[in-house]
Structure 1
Amino acid sequence: MLRRFRYTLIVLSVLALAACGEGVVKRVSEPASSLQQLTVNADGSWKVALRLQNFSSMPMRFDDIALKLSVGDAEAGTLTAKPGVSIGGASADVIELQLQPAAQARLIVADALASNHTLAYTLEGSVAATPEEKKQRTFQINNRSTLNHAPGLPGVLR
């Protein structure tokens, strides 16, 4: 009888502890940004497809973007936007921005396209995002990566 009582007590204790769990842990992680595509328009301006990656376990609304773009060793300009786009947890989305690049950056991109070689770029600045049911936070971005000529698409780097 005492054994049965202990067994029942242990089972009830385990069930009570299991019921205390809160389920899915909501974690906020720093987002990332990168260039998905850079297209040179006929007038020399650029159409930039900016990829926003949410590494958090919950949705985040991306409210404000201010990223200085450099190509090679030259500053191209600043990508600014207030997209107001919500991105689900562990997901990504792409927004398109227009940029009137600096002359030196324009030459570097033209050279990369003409000679079909890799283009190094840097994004540096901040992204303000609001995690679900929390306060807005500003995250610092410092990303270095490369783009390559997209075969069959003139004026496009991916």
Structure 2
Amino acid sequence: MRRTSLLALLAATALLGGCGDGVVRRVSDPAVSVQQLTVKADGQWAVDLRLQNYSSIPMRFDTVEVDVQVGDQDAGKLRATPGLSVGPESADVVTVTFAPSSAGRIGVADALAGRRTLPYTLKGTAAATPDEAKQRSFDIDTRSTLNPVPGLDGVLR
């Protein structure tokens, strides 16, 4: 009787073990940062936003709305609708044209002229849709720095 119970338990364990696909579906908060900022001839900025997916499943980035601060100056609100799908635990870059405030332009121009590091902050939200799920809103609060790129006028990375 004991042997039969043990065999039944082993069989049930084997059947249940085969039910899962082994993939853990973890959704983590994504990150948004500036990979490169290029000052265009008309004063606008081409901002390369890095969209980082820390989840174990693909995620489509639908919208990004962040307040941009460079140095201690408010540069304005950046809005983007990338519609870009980023694979699990991966990143991709989308370029967004941004019309900064006068104070933001001056802060970037000063950093470029002085060849100095420029701190920046992004605060807002990113709406993203995890694979086979509904759209969610994630808080973005990024603080980092950009540095002038040697040999490339008007470019910070």
TM-score by length of 2: 0.92
Structure 1 residue 7, shift from structure 2 partner: 6.7
Q: Distance in 2 between matches of 1:76 and 1:84?
A: 24
Partner residue in 1 for 2:34: 35
Q: Distance in 1 between matches of 2:15 and 2:98?
A: 58
Percent of pairs identical after alignment? Answer: 55
2:126 is equivalent to residue 127 of structure 1: yes
Gaps of 5+ in 2: none
Partner residue in 1 for 2:25: 26
Q: Distance in 1 between matches of 2:41 and 2:134?
A: 42
Structure 1 residue 69, shift from structure 2 partner: 0.6
Partner residue in 2 for 1:108: 107
AA at the equivalent of 1:142: D
Q: Distance in 1 between matches of 2:99 and 2:10?
A: 68
Q: Distance in 1 between matches of 2:6 and 2:123?
A: 60
Partner SS state of residue 106, structure 2: helix
**C-alpha offsets along residues 88-135 of structure 1, whole Å, 9 cap, x if unaligned?**
111111111111111111111111111111000000001000111111
AA at the equivalent of 1:48: V
2:117 is equivalent to residue 118 of structure 1: yes
Q: Distance in 1 between matches of 2:69 and 2:92?
A: 22
Structure 1 residue 20, shift from structure 2 partner: 3.7
Structure 1 residue 83, shift from structure 2 partner: 1.4
Structure 1 residue 17, shift from structure 2 partner: 3.9
Runs of 4+ in 1 over 4 A off after TM superposition: 2-11
Partner SS state of residue 67, structure 1: strand
Q: How does 1:137-152 map to 2 (within 5 A)?
A: 137-152=136-151
Structure 1 residue 6, shift from structure 2 partner: 6.8
Q: How does 1:1-158 map to 2 (within 5 A)?
A: 8-9=7-8, 11-158=10-157
Gaps of 5+ in 1: none
CA RMSD of aligned residues (A): 1.7
Q: Distance in 1 between matches of 2:135 and 2:36?
A: 28
Q: Distance in 2 between matches of 1:16 and 1:59?
A: 29
Q: Distance in 1 between matches of 2:138 and 2:36?
A: 23
Q: Distance in 2 between matches of 1:115 and 1:28?
A: 42
Q: Distance in 2 between matches of 1:120 and 1:50?
A: 16
TM-score by length of 1: 0.91
Q: Distance in 2 between matches of 1:140 and 1:39?
A: 25
